[in-house]
């Protein structure tokens, strides 16, 4: 049973170099997206309240009137 699975994977992915390279690129592209999402979520949760998007809400419109000196 296990050798049949390996044989199927070999015939679908590893037998032709072009399919192997394409599957490597597709897997790397998908992994990059999931990894980026995970790291960004962890970073934002770890630094909640310290990021600009959080500070900007606290400041409100206070900084907009400073440029009216001209």
Please say whether the beta carbons of 41 and 31 come within 8 A.
no
Domains defined for the chain, CATH in brackets: 1-65 (1.20.5.260)
Look up tokens 């990894």; give the residue.
35
Segment 30-64, tens digit of pLDDT: 999 999 999 999 999 999 989 898 888 888 766 66
pTM above 0.85, yes or no: no
For residue 2, what pLDDT is reported? 81
Percent of the chain topping pLDDT 90? 53
**pLDDT band, very low/low/confident/very high, at 13 (cuts 50, 70, 90):** confident
Question: How many Cβ atoms are within 10 Å of 34's Cβ, its own excluded?
Answer: 9
pLDDT of residue 69: 57
């Amino acid at each position: 049973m296990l050798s049949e699975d390996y044989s199927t994977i070999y015939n679908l992915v590893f037998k032709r170099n072009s399919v192997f390279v394409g599957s490597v690129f597709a897997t790397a592209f998908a992994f990059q997206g999931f990894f980026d999402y995970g790291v960004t979520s962890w970073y934002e949760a770890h630094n909640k309240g310290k990021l600009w998007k959080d500070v900007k809400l606290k400041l409100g419109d206070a900084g907009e009137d400073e440029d009216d000196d001209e």
